[in-house]
Structure 1
Amino acid sequence: MKWGIFFIIAAVLIVLLIVVGSSRNQKPKEQDLSRIKPETGAKGKKVILLLADSLMSQSIDRGLREKELPTFRFLIEHGQYYKNMVSSFPTMSVTIDSTLLTGRYPSEHRLPGLTWYSAKDKKVINYGTGPIEVLRQGVNNVLTDGLIHLNQDHLNPDVPTIHEELARHGLQSGSINGLIYRGPAVHKLTIPAWLHIPSSLPDEIEVKGPDFLTLGALTNPLEGLADLPDNLTDKIGFNNRFSFETVKYLVRHRKLPDFLFVYLPDLDQELHKNGPSSLKGVKDLDGQLESLLQSFGSREQAMKEAVILISGDSGMTRILPADRNPEIDLSALFGDDRVLSPGEEESGSKDILFTVNETMAYVYSLKGTDTLKEAAKVLQADSRIDFVAWKERDGWVNVIQGGTSKALKYKADGKLQDTYRQSWTIDGDSQVLDLKVNDVNNMLEYDEYPDVLMRLKSALDSHEGDYLVVTAKPGYELKDKNSPTHKGGGGHGSIRKAESLVPLIICGTDRKPTLLRMVDLKSYLLDLLAKNPPNHG
C-alpha cells in the first residue's frame, strides 16, 4: 500500500475503537471559503485535476468494452485520452505527487519514497507503509514525519509547488486530501483526541497550503456546512466520497478556486487486495464522476465551465500467490546479524539497512561503498531480482541485471538523445534496461522501462548516503522483516511500464500536453491557467 497516513489509522484503529469508540473532536471551522473570491462577470475555466490512485488504462479499456463505464466513455469521446503518461520513480504516492505538483523529479524535490533513510538524522523516515512497520517505527514518529515534516521540511523548500506559483500570479488553488499540499496560506490541522493516545502531537498544527485545503477530518473547511464521511470508520475522511462531496459543494456554491487538486484513494486498496484485473473500483469511480458532472447541472455544462483532468498515479503488477514464493526477503539474503531493523538503534555490528517500497527498495550501506558493492553482488545472484543500480562518485550509474552477468553503465550528457530531448553516454549491454539505440542518428528509445535513465538517476540523486536501488521482477515483491506484502494481489514501486504508465483524460480544452510525463504535467496545467485567465471582479 502507499497511502501514507491511512496506514497509521489502520495500525491503531482496532485499539482506538475499543478505547474511545467512534468519538471525535468538533473542530473549529476553517476560513478557506472566505478566501475564495466570488465569481463575477466573464471568467476563465476552472481547472480540476482528479488523481485516482492506481487507475490504469487496461481497466478503463476493459470497462468500455463491457459497457460498464458510461461516464468514462462520455469523457473520452468528448476529450483527449492518453494511455501512456510516464509516472515518477519509485512509483509510490508521495514521490509521484511531489513530482506532479513541483514539476521536478526526486533529485530536486527530495522525497525519494514512502520510506527512506535520512543519513543526516540517522533514522528511517516512514510516512506509513504498513501497520506493523508503523508500530515498530513508532506511531508518534510516523505521524510527526507525515503531518509536519513531509510538507514543511522534507519537500525541498527551494522547489515551488504549483500552489505557490499560482499564488504569485494572483490565482487561487485548492487541495482535497492530497498529502503533498504546500502553499502560501496558513491552515491549522486539528488533531482528533483519539490520536493523542498513541502520539504526543499537539491539539493543533499550523501548516501552509493552498487557499482551500482539506485533509480529511484533520482540516475540514466544510465542517457544519456539509455532511462528509470523516469518522474513524470512514478513515477520518480519506476516502473518495469525502473528496467528491467536497468538490460538489464547491461547484454548487460557486466556490471553485482557479485550480483544484483532488486525491482519490479508494481504488488502490482494492487492487492491492484483489489484483490489477479487478474492475469494481473503476465502476464505482465512474458513478462518482457522473455525480460530479451533474453538480454543474449537466455533463455538457461541466465541459463549458471547467477543464477536468482524470489521471492515474501508477500502475500495478499482479503479485504471485503465496504458494509461488513471491516474497524476496532481503533480511534473509544478508542475515539478521548484518541488518539493522526499523526502529533499532545503530551499532557498529550491523552494516546494512533496507527501506522497502513494495516492488523496489533502497539498500543502504552504513559502512561505505565497499559494503555497497558486495551487497549488489548478493542481490544480483537472486534470479527474482530485476536489476540493482548504484551511483559512482564521478556521476556514472551502474546497473546489473538480476540472475545474469549482464551490466550497463551510463551518465548524463553525451551524443545519444532520447525522446524527451535528454542526452546520455552509455557503455555496456543496453538490454539490461531494454534500450533501443540507433547509432546512425544517435537516438535512444525506451520500451519496457519508460524514461528509465532519468528516473533511475533521479532516485539515486534524491537523498544523501551510500545506497543501492533494487527492483523485483514482475510477480515478486521485496520484503523486510515487517513490511506489508500483497501475495495474490497487486503491487507497485518499480520502474517497468506496467507500474509506470498511467492514463490521462483531459476534457474541456483542445490544448494538448507536449510531453506525456508526470513531471511535465505541472507546466501544462500552468499553461492552461495562463490561457484561461479568470476574472474575479
Structure 2
Amino acid sequence: MRKLISFFIIMALLLTACQQAPENDASVKGLEKNDKDPRKKVILVMIDSMTGSVIDRTKEKGTIPSLQFLIDKGQYYKELVTPFPSMSVVIESTLLTGKMANEHRVPGLNWYSSEEDRYIDYGASIEKVLKLSPKQSFEDSLYHLNNTHLSKNVSTIFEDLNEKGFTTGSVNFIVYRGPKSHALSIPPFFQEVIGLPEAMHTKGPDLLAFGQLIKPNALEGKQLPDSVFRKFGLNDEYSVEAVKSLIKSGEQPDFLTVYLPDFDREAHKHSIHYLSGFEKAESFFQEILNSYDSWEKALEENIFIILGDHGQDKLLENAVELTIDLEEIYEGFSIAPLGEMVSNYDLAFANNHRMSYVYAPNNPTAFPELANLAMIDDRIALASWINDEWIYVTSPDYNTSFRFKRGDTYKDRYNQRWEIEGDERIVSIKINNKQLNYVNYPDVLNQLDTALRSQDSPVLVLTAEPSYQFVSEGAPVHEGGGEHGGIHANDTLAALIIAGTEKKPKYLRMVDLKDYILELFE
C-alpha cells in the first residue's frame, strides 16, 4: 500500500494533478497556411515497443486487422534502427530533429550534467525521483527536456513545418518542442509544498495535448481517461480519444504525432512476447481509422506512419542472475549517490537499464582502467570510450581490442565511412571488400560514436549482453520481463508501417525519418 500511495504522489508531482486543464487557445482553425498544403495530411503513431516479431505473430492470429489493412495497402519494414541508448526520450529527440544524441544533446533517460554537477533523470523510477528531488524531476521532465536540454542548434519537424506554413500537433509525445508557447498551470498546493512557480510555459506545436497537463480547445469539456488512476491521461485510450476529437472537430493539423505508451508497460512486465498487450494497443489504434467514414477514406485523406520506438530484450527470471551490479564491479571507488554533487566522488552511474554511462568527474584518463575492470563480468557485452580521436571498444568475449573513427577507408550500409583497426568481431562486424556489414549491433559504430559525444563530460559506455541489465541505486528491475536501452538488435530494431504514399524512406533508421517526413510535404 505504501508503494501504491507513493506511486500516486510521484505521478502527481511529475504530471501535475491539476483537476482542471489550464486555459489554452490552441487551435488550427484560422491559422494562415501557404498554398503548399499537401494532398494528404500525415499522422505518425508511435506504438511503444512495436517490433516485427510481435506484428508477425499477431498477424498470423488475425488479431490486428487495422495494422494488417495498412500493411496490405502500404509498406512494412521489420528493421527500423533506433538511436542509442535505445530509450524513448533519446529516440523521440532523434525522430523529431533528425539528429543523433551528439547533436540534439539528450543523451539518455538519465545522465550527468557537468555544468550543474548533478544527475538529470526524466522519471526512471519513484525511488530516483524522491532522492533527486520531486521539484527538480518535475522541472527536468516537463520544462527543461523540451526547452533547455534539447539543443537549440537543431530544429524539430514542428519548427520546420511551421516555417513552411503547415500546421502541426502532438498527443502525448514526451518530446514536442515547436514554435508556439503553451501554459502549464501549477496548482497552489504544489507551488507551496514543492516550490514550483505559479505558471510555467513550454514550447510546442500548434496543438499540444499532454495528458491532463495541456489540452487544446478541441478537448475542452470532454470526458477523458485522465484521472490519477489512469496516469493523468498518459495512456492509449486518452491518446486515441484526443485524436478522434481533433478529427471530428475539424482540428486535425497537417502533421500530427501520437504516442501510445501502454504496450511498453506490458512488455516490461510480461516481456515482448505478451501478444494480448499488443493486440489491445492495436484495438485502440483501430479507433483512429474508425473516425473516418471508412478505412479506405482514412487512407484517401492521410498518410499513416506507424512505428515502434525500440525493441525489448527478454530478461532472465532470477533477479540476481540478470542484474549486473555496477557498485560491485567498481568496489573500492566512491560512487556518487543520487541527490549528491557528483564531483565529490570518484565515479557516477547514469543507468539506462541495458546500458550505462560511467563518469569519472575528477579523472578523465581513467576509462581504460574502468573498462578493464568491467571485463570481469561476462554479462557485459561492450565497453567503449574515446581516447584522442579514436573510439576504443573491448569485450569480455575477446582478449583482443578494437578501435575506430570516422574516415574514408571502410563504408557501411548507410554510406557512413570509417577507419577501423583491430578485431572487428568485438563489435560483430563482417568485412567484405571494404564494406562493413553489421550483424548483432545495427549501426554500432555510429551509435557508439554519437552516444560517447552526446555530453560535455568524457564518459565510458557499458552495454549488456541479451537477457541482462545493469542495476544501481534506484534502477527498476523487471525479472522475467522485457527491457531495452542497449545496443543489441533486440533493443534497437523496431517495426515501421507506411500507408497512403508510394514514397519510400532512403534508409531504415529513426534518424533518417525526419527528412523523409519533410519530403512528404514538398
Per the shorter chain, which TM-score range? over 0.9
* SS of the residue 1:504 aligns to: strand
**CA distance in structure 2 between the aligned counterparts of 1:102 and 1:40, rounded to whole angstroms:** 23
**CA distance in structure 1 between the aligned counterparts of 2:34 and 2:55, rounded to whole angstroms:** 38
Deviations 1:463-486 (A, max 9, x none): 111210000111110011221111
Deviation at 1:34, TM superposition (A): 5.0
| Change beyond 3 A, Cα 1:138–1:17 | closer
Matched, 1:138 2:130: no
Correspondence for 2:39: 44
Letter of the 2:483 counterpart: G
Deviations 1:497-529 (A, max 9, x none): 111111000111111111110000000100011
**CA distance in structure 2 between the aligned counterparts of 1:88 and 1:470, rounded to whole angstroms:** 15
* SS of the residue 2:27 aligns to: helix
Deviation at 1:339, TM superposition (A): 1.0
| 8 Å Cα contact 1:24-1:194 kept in structure 2 | no
Correspondence for 1:59: 54
**CA distance in structure 2 between the aligned counterparts of 1:485 and 1:453, rounded to whole angstroms:** 28
Correspondence for 2:211: 216
Letter of the 1:330 counterpart: L
Correspondence for 1:495: 487
Match of 1:456 among 448, 453, 467: 448
Match of 1:519 among 486, 511, 520: 511
| Change beyond 3 A, Cα 1:163–1:355 | same
Deviation at 1:403, TM superposition (A): 4.7
**CA distance in structure 2 between the aligned counterparts of 1:36 and 1:56, rounded to whole angstroms:** 39
Deviations 1:143-197 (A, max 9, x none): 1111111111110001000111001111111111111111111111123456557
| Change beyond 3 A, Cα 1:347–1:415 | closer
Matched, 1:412 2:406: yes
Correspondence for 2:478: 486
Correspondence for 1:370: 365
Correspondence for 2:251: 255
Correspondence for 1:296: 292
- Greater alpha carbon shift after TM alignment, 404-413 vs 492-501: 404-413
| Change beyond 3 A, Cα 1:198–1:63 | farther
| Change beyond 3 A, Cα 1:78–1:10 | farther
Correspondence for 1:533: none
| 8 Å Cα contact 2:84-2:90 kept in structure 1 | yes
**CA distance in structure 1 between the aligned counterparts of 2:333 and 2:11, rounded to whole angstroms:** 38
| Change beyond 3 A, Cα 1:191–1:485 | same
Matched, 1:402 2:396: yes
* SS of the residue 2:194 aligns to: coil
Deviation at 1:110, TM superposition (A): 0.5
| Change beyond 3 A, Cα 1:126–1:79 | same
Deviations 1:80-124 (A, max 9, x none): 101001111100011000000000000110000000001111111
**CA distance in structure 2 between the aligned counterparts of 1:203 and 1:35, rounded to whole angstroms:** 29
| 8 Å Cα contact 2:326-2:472 kept in structure 1 | yes
**CA distance in structure 2 between the aligned counterparts of 1:375 and 1:343, rounded to whole angstroms:** 23
Unaligned 5+ segments in structure 1 are 1-8, 531-537
Correspondence for 1:320: 316
**CA distance in structure 1 between the aligned counterparts of 2:484 and 2:60, rounded to whole angstroms:** 26
**CA distance in structure 2 between the aligned counterparts of 1:510 and 1:131, rounded to whole angstroms:** 45
| 8 Å Cα contact 2:102-2:451 kept in structure 1 | yes
| Change beyond 3 A, Cα 1:368–1:16 | closer
| Change beyond 3 A, Cα 1:484–1:458 | same
**CA distance in structure 2 between the aligned counterparts of 1:450 and 1:194, rounded to whole angstroms:** 48
* SS of the residue 2:419 aligns to: strand
Letter of the 1:431 counterpart: R
Matched, 1:230 2:212: no
Matched, 1:240 2:239: no
* SS of the residue 1:30 aligns to: coil
Matched, 1:465 2:461: no
TM-score by length of 1: 0.92
Aligned residues: 516
Match of 1:306 among 302, 306, 329: 302
| 8 Å Cα contact 1:91-1:494 kept in structure 2 | yes
* SS of the residue 2:513 aligns to: helix
Match of 1:434 among 428, 431, 447: 428
Identity across aligned pairs (percent)?
37
| Change beyond 3 A, Cα 1:229–1:278 | same
**CA distance in structure 2 between the aligned counterparts of 1:417 and 1:18, rounded to whole angstroms:** 49
Deviation at 1:24, TM superposition (A): 4.0
| 8 Å Cα contact 2:305-2:498 kept in structure 1 | yes
TM-score by length of 2: 0.94
Deviation at 1:224, TM superposition (A): 3.2
Deviation at 1:70, TM superposition (A): 1.6
* SS of the residue 1:340 aligns to: coil
Matched, 1:379 2:374: yes
| 8 Å Cα contact 1:139-1:198 kept in structure 2 | no
**CA distance in structure 2 between the aligned counterparts of 1:328 and 1:506, rounded to whole angstroms:** 38
**CA distance in structure 2 between the aligned counterparts of 1:245 and 1:489, rounded to whole angstroms:** 29
| 8 Å Cα contact 1:95-1:106 kept in structure 2 | yes
**CA distance in structure 2 between the aligned counterparts of 1:54 and 1:71, rounded to whole angstroms:** 18
**CA distance in structure 2 between the aligned counterparts of 1:17 and 1:460, rounded to whole angstroms:** 32
| 8 Å Cα contact 1:449-1:496 kept in structure 2 | yes
Deviation at 1:289, TM superposition (A): 2.1
Deviation at 1:267, TM superposition (A): 0.7
Correspondence for 1:170: 165
Deviation at 1:368, TM superposition (A): 1.9
